[in-house]
A = this chain, B = another copy of it.
Amino acid sequence: MQPVNIKEKFSLFNDYFNPRIIGELNGQHVKAAKLKGEFAWHKHENEDELFFVVHGLLKIEFMDKTIEINEGEFIIVPKGVEHKPVANEEVHVLLFEPATTLNTGNVTNKFTKEKLETI
């Protein structure tokens, strides 16, 4: 049991769309991810997903609208809702979601990470 420094965790990796696990509790994971560019459309059948932006501006496209999440803001995407994260510039996000969550949800593509690293 020790404090986890967010900035320090983000200093440990530089690739995009490859979340690292930085905490685990109650069957949930806390993850850190750097995003840049357009991710793929997907949904999570069984998991709500929280995106907390700690650096940059994250856009999430939904079927009917695009929502901007600024630094210091979070959004909860409910299970079953199709979404596509887009980061025009580098974005740092914390994710809070069940340990069962696959990053690309119901699809498998070049972004899919079956096994995440814990840092």
Q: A residues near B, CB below 8 A?
A: 1-7, 23-26, 28, 30, 47-50, 62, 67-70, 72-78, 81, 96-98
Contact = CB atoms under 8 A, between A and B. Distances in A.
A118 to B, nearest CB: 13
A23 B3 contact: no
Contacts of A78: 1, 25
A6 B67 contact: no
Given A3-B69, A23-B50, A25-B78, 15 more contacts: A2-B67, A3-B67, A3-B70, A3-B74, A4-B74, A5-B70, A5-B72, A6-B73, A7-B72, A23-B76, A25-B48, A25-B97, A26-B48, A26-B97, A30-B74
Contacts of A7: 72
Nearest to A27: B26
Nearest to A50: B25
Contacts of A6: 72-74
B72 A1 contact: no
A33 to B, nearest CB: 16
The winner among A26, A67, A77, A97 for most chain B CB atoms within 10 A is: A26
